A and B are shown apart, each in its own frame.
Chain A
Amino acid sequence: MKRTNDFLVGATVLAIGAFVTAALIWVNQTEVGQRRHRLVARFHDVGNARVGNAAVIRGVRGGRIEAIELAPGGWVHVRMALDPGVELPRDPIVLLNESSLFGEWQATIDERASQPRDETVRRQIVEASGGGAVVPGATLPGIGKLTAVAGEIAGDVASVANRVETAFDDDAARELRGSIRNVAQLSSVLAHTVRAHASDLDSLSGQLRVAVGSMNRTAGTVERMAQQVDTSASNGQVRQIVSDAAVASAELRRAATQIRDLSERFATSQGRLDAFLANGDSVMAKINAGQGSLGLLVNDPSLYRRGDSLVMQLHALVQDIKANPKKYVTVRIF
């Protein structure tokens, strides 16, 4: 009996122990004999994240939060145990966020390049960077905060609605009704006018149709021309034309420069010629007026005659010198 009791108790202890241990392993998803990776991320604030919350990679549960502890420098370190075989992104960050409306949080492991565009989140990531092996993390606002903001917005909308209600009193409604009536009258007048000018409109539309036809033809012509241009372009003619035009324009530019130089010189010469002519006019005027030696010479015949006589006398003198040089030249050595 005693041995039976011992066996029964021992078997019960073993069976229940094994049963409960297996159940715990299954519920906790513990991988027996396989080592889990550890990933530590740091945050300023972890919100409502708790030990046991899921760690999610690309939307798939890949581990759980193992520990949350305060760290120096105002940081909170969150240690995650990742399942074997889980590969981290190249430059990982960790975002703590609510995964449901019932206060359940999760740690989302993501790549830094695909972080949210929210300015606050980016700032948190930047601040948490540089921790060595510790991955930077950011906490997204919870549903509570979002609800509070939504509440504020709803309050503002209600306030605006109240103001509109205050502004839109009976008078405003009456005026609006009158305006609508005026618009109705206006539209009926417009319809009448349109009916009255329907023939004009028909004529106008016919002309428009003709114009559109012309435009279509023009467009066809332009298209054909474009095709020709395209063909020319494809044959290299346009390139040749363009290069020739470039050469011609360079030469034209050079010629223009030379013309500009010439015109500048011509302007200078013209200035000088103008001055010369002015001086000449002045001299001629003085000569005509009989001023100066040349004026007297031109305007006084006696001077001419005297000069002519002088020349004749000089001619006779030169003849005489030639004929009788000793009369005029004496050479002595001592």
Chain B
Amino acid sequence: MSELASPLQASIGTHPTERSIFTDPVRRLGAATRSVLEGVGERARFVGDSLLALRDVRTWGPLATQQARRLGVDSLPIAVFIALFTGIVLALLASYSFTGAVPLYFVGTLVGKTITLELAPVLTGLALAGRVGANIAAELGTMRVTEQIDALETLGYDPLAYLVVPRVLAGTFMFPLVVAAAMVVGVGAGCLASVMLLDLAAADFVKGLRLFFQTFDVEYGVVKAASFGCAVTFAGCWRGLRAFGGAQGVGRAATGAVVVSAVLILVLDAFWAVVWLLGRETAG
């Protein structure tokens, strides 16, 4: 190549070092742009193909409840555990902040609003991102590096319908349920902590809870949780199916799935806050 290039360089009279100073950054920028666009396109195509695979109900139907149990039912204990301690700590923090300035029954308001709108969906989502996202990425990554997925394709199974769709559906459907349970447990724990650890009657806590409560708060948290479940499962599937390089590759895929899931959860949290909460506030 260099031999071929030398006559050309000689013919145009340009020094190779001088040319690379000007052209390399541009070339790198173009390569980066192409890489980003390729990445976006690949992910979009992956999501699109997965949605198309929804038509293959016979393939994903029998597997859906199994995934729902693994991703949802089996995740309930960790979600409840997180919500329990979040509610307790939140009640104590609220009481500490309100001392002497704000009536103590506002502890119920703060615990209710914070748990339903933000903490239950996001904390549960982050916890499940670690548990579910890593689990899916590791499982699918292992299948990829051990060529089980190739075997499925050979047998005529659509890997998206067989592996991705049941997980994504299970995550999208079960995350809201887990988060709803976390909401109830979190608020209950806050109430219990207020009664047992603070000088606050249960009736006062309930008064504060009901003061600004709207059903919209629960709707908002549940819809947000559904979006988190969809994002976490898609990220895990994407990383797992693209794993390569043996056990190390599977580990990288699991780690990457968790990181991407966490980032997606925070981005989606901000997205819903801007689009839905802010939009509702502006409209209302």
Q: How far is the CA of A20 from the CA of B62 in the complex (A)?
A: 28
CB within 8 A of A12: which of B72, B112, B184?
B72
* Contact indicator A9/B68 (Cβ below 8 Å): yes
Task: Enumerate chain A residues within 8 angstroms of B106, measured Cβ to Cβ.
Answer: 102
Give 1 or 0 for each of A1-34: 1 = CB within 8 Å of chain B CB.
1100110110011001101100110011100000
Q: Which of the segments B14-22, B30-38, B193-201, B212-220 contacts the partner chain?
A: B212-220
Main secondary structure of the interface of B (DSSP, over half): helix
Which chain A residue lies CB-closest to B209? A27
CB within 8 A of A20: which of B184, B209, B214?
B184
Q: Does B76 make an interface contact (CB < 8 A)? A: yes
Q: How far is the CA of A8 from the CA of B218 in the complex (A)?
A: 24
> Do A8 and B184 contact each other (CB < 8 Å), given the known contacts A2-B66, A102-B102?
no
* Contact indicator B65/A27 (Cβ below 8 Å): no
Q: How far is the CA of A28 from the CA of B212 in the complex (A)?
A: 10
* Contact indicator A5/B65 (Cβ below 8 Å): yes
Q: Which of the segments B127-135, B142-150, B175-183 contacts the partner chain?
A: B175-183
Q: Does B27 make an interface contact (CB < 8 A)? A: no
Q: How far is the CB of B178 from chain A (nearest CB, A)?
A: 8
CB within 8 A of A29: which of B174, B180, B210?
B210
Task: Enumerate chain B residues within 8 angstroms of A51, measured Cβ to Cβ.
Answer: 214, 284
Q: Does A104 make an interface contact (CB < 8 A)? A: yes
Q: How far is the CA of A17 from the CA of B218 in the complex (A)?
A: 12
Task: Enumerate chain A residues within 8 angstroms of B184, measured Cβ to Cβ.
Answer: 19-20, 23
B residues 165-193 with Cβ under 8 Å of A? 174, 177-178, 180-181, 183-184, 187
Q: How far is the CA of A1 from the CA of B178 in the complex (A)?
A: 22
Residue count of chain B within 8 Å CB distance of chain A = 29
Q: How far is the CA of A16 from the CA of B83 in the complex (A)?
A: 15
> Do A24 and B68 contact each other (CB < 8 Å), given the known contacts A9-B73, A102-B102?
no
Q: Does A142 make an interface contact (CB < 8 A)? A: no
Q: Does A52 make an interface contact (CB < 8 A)? A: yes
Task: Enumerate chain A residues within 8 angstroms of B69, measured Cβ to Cβ.
Answer: 5, 8-9
B residues 111-142 with Cβ under 8 Å of A? 112
Task: Enumerate chain A residues within 8 angstroms of B44, measured Cβ to Cβ.
Answer: none
Q: How far is the CA of A51 from the CA of B281 in the complex (A)?
A: 12
* Contact indicator B180/A20 (Cβ below 8 Å): yes
Task: Enumerate chain B residues within 8 angstroms of A20, measured Cβ to Cβ.
Answer: 180-181, 183-184, 218
* Contact indicator B65/A28 (Cβ below 8 Å): no
CB within 8 A of A8: which of B73, B102, B181, B187?
B73
Q: How far is the CA of A8 from the CA of B177 in the complex (A)?
A: 13
Interface size class of A (residues with CB under 8 A): 20 to 34
Which chain B residue lies CB-closest to A1? B66
* Contact indicator B72/A9 (Cβ below 8 Å): yes
B residues 192-245 with Cβ under 8 Å of A? 209-215, 218
Q: How far is the CB of A178 from chain B (nearest CB, A)?
A: 50
* Contact indicator B177/A52 (Cβ below 8 Å): no
* Contact indicator A5/B212 (Cβ below 8 Å): no
Main secondary structure of the interface of A (DSSP, over half): helix
Q: How far is the CA of A23 from the CA of B180 in the complex (A)?
A: 10
Q: How far is the CB of B107 from chain A (nearest CB, A)?
A: 13
Give 1 or 0 for each of B52-71: 1 = CB within 8 Å of chain A CB.
00000000001001101100
* Contact indicator B215/A6 (Cβ below 8 Å): no
Task: Enumerate chain A residues within 8 angstroms of B62, measured Cβ to Cβ.
Answer: 2
Q: How far is the CA of A1 from the CA of B63 in the complex (A)?
A: 11
Which chain A residue lies CB-closest to B182? A16
* Contact indicator B212/A52 (Cβ below 8 Å): yes
Q: How far is the CA of A102 from the CA of B106 in the complex (A)?
A: 10
Q: How far is the CA of A1 from the CA of B212 in the complex (A)?
A: 45
Task: Enumerate chain B residues within 8 angstroms of A5, measured Cβ to Cβ.
Answer: 65-66, 68-69
Task: Enumerate chain B residues within 8 angstroms of A8, measured Cβ to Cβ.
Answer: 69, 73
Which chain B residue lies CB-closest to A30? B215
Q: How far is the CB of B189 from chain A (nearest CB, A)?
A: 13
Give 1 or 0 for each of B76-111: 1 = CB within 8 Å of chain A CB.
100000000000000000000000001100100000
* Contact indicator A52/B65 (Cβ below 8 Å): no
* Contact indicator A13/B177 (Cβ below 8 Å): yes
Q: How far is the CA of A14 from the CA of B156 in the complex (A)?
A: 36
> Do A24 and B215 contact each other (CB < 8 Å), given the known contacts A12-B72, A16-B181, A102-B102?
yes
Q: How far is the CA of A167 from the CA of B203 in the complex (A)?
A: 58
Task: Enumerate chain A residues within 8 angstroms of B214, measured Cβ to Cβ.
Answer: 51-52
Q: How far is the CB of B55 from chain A (nearest CB, A)?
A: 22
Q: How far is the CB of B220 from chain A (nearest CB, A)?
A: 13
Q: How far is the CA of A51 from the CA of B180 in the complex (A)?
A: 23
A residues 246-274 with Cβ under 8 Å of B? none
* Contact indicator B66/A16 (Cβ below 8 Å): no
Residues of chain B touching chain A, judged by Cβ–Cβ distance below 8 Å, are: 62, 65-66, 68-69, 72-73, 76, 102-103, 106, 112, 174, 177-178, 180-181, 183-184, 187, 209-215, 218, 284
A selection of 26 A-B contacts at a CB cut-off of 8 Å is: A1-B66, A2-B62, A2-B65, A2-B66, A5-B66, A5-B69, A8-B73, A9-B68, A9-B73, A9-B174, A12-B72, A12-B76, A16-B177, A16-B181, A20-B180, A20-B184, A24-B215, A24-B218, A27-B209, A27-B213, A28-B210, A28-B215, A29-B210, A51-B214, A52-B212, A104-B211
- The 3 A-B residue pairs whose C-beta atoms are closest, nearest first, are A9-B68, A5-B69, A20-B180
Sample of 11 more A-B contacts, CB < 8 Å, known A28-B213, A52-B213: A5-B68, A9-B72, A13-B177, A19-B184, A20-B180, A20-B184, A20-B218, A27-B112, A27-B213, A29-B210, A102-B106
